[in-house]
Amino acid sequence: MAGTGEVWPHLLRRLPQIASITAVDISSGMHARAMDRLHAHRAHKIAFIEDDVLASDLPTESADFVVSTFGLKTFNTAQHQALATLVARVLKPGGSFSMIEASDPKGWSLRRLYLFHLKRVLPMVERLFLRGAQDFAMIGTYSTNFGDASGFADMLRKAGLETEYRRFFFG
Ligand SMILES: C[S@@+](CC[C@H](N)C(=O)[O-])C[C@H]1O[C@@H](n2cnc3c(N)ncnc32)[C@H](O)[C@@H]1O
């Protein structure tokens, strides 16, 4: 779910030994637009595979690492299962993975305020300041439907991967 590749600059800056990143997304149009608008100067470091990660032919044991940012929340449980199986299959032995997602902080005292921010403030800010963009229009709804990544972490564990689940509220 590489999308706009928001994580690539950070990865390449932090880990200069990364020779190339392979972006995987179901939409080649999304990728082409992202490359054009945001990544033209690092195009030599970005390869692309158009692929549905829920029915994927990505080669087994082909990836040194797998990274996904904010691609989990729109999938349901069966789809998370397919994705966990894929991550375990494509990683090389000793490879690593990292995924991050917006959650619904159930039980947290500031939950209502936080959900107000996700569902109302963020979409309004982007409408006003990003020329009517709607990228975050559904983020609150998707996040509450998703819950949190602990269930997905369990699936990764069951797929045989050593998995650590971390929360990033308050940093
Ligand atoms: C919310 S974006 C993820 C954000 C992204 N990491 C970024 O930096 O912009 C979701 C992306 O997942 C892609 N996607 C959705 N379903 C997919 C699937 N089954 N297989 C591969 N990519 C998928 C969409 O095309 C979209 O680019």
Establish whether residue 148 lines the binding site of ligand 1, counting it when its CB lies within 6 angstroms of any ligand atom: no
Ligand 1, atom 17, lies closest to the CA of 26
Can you give the pLDDT at residue 169?
83
In the reported structure, the alpha carbon of residue 169 is separated from the centroid of ligand 1 by a whole-number distance in angstroms of 23
In the reported structure, the alpha carbon of residue 109 is separated from the centroid of ligand 1 by a whole-number distance in angstroms of 31
CA torsion, points 37, 41, 47, 51, in degrees to nearest 10? -10
Query: Where does residue 107 fall: left (phi above 0), alpha (psi -120 to 50 degrees), or beta otherwise?
Result: left
Can you give the pLDDT at residue 63?
97
Can you give the pLDDT at residue 117?
94
Mean pLDDT, 10 residues at a time, the chain of 171 residues: 95 96 97 95 97 96 96 96 98 97 91 94 93 88 95 98 93 68
Helix, strand or coil for residue 70?
A: coil
Can you give the pLDDT at residue 132?
83
Q: Which amino acid is at 62?
A: S
Q: pTM of the full predicted structure? A: 0.92
For 84-120, how does the pLDDT look when each residue is reduced to its tens digit (9 = 90+)?
999 999 999 999 999 999 999 888 899 999 999 999 9
Establish whether residue 163 lines the binding site of ligand 1, counting it when its CB lies within 6 angstroms of any ligand atom: no
Q: Kindly give, in sequence order, each residue whose CB lies less than 8 Å from that of residue 3, ignoring residues fewer than 6 positions away.
A: 25, 30, 34, 69, 70, 71
Ligand 1 atom nearest the C-alpha of 34 is: 9
Establish whether residue 53 lines the binding site of ligand 1, counting it when its CB lies within 6 angstroms of any ligand atom: yes
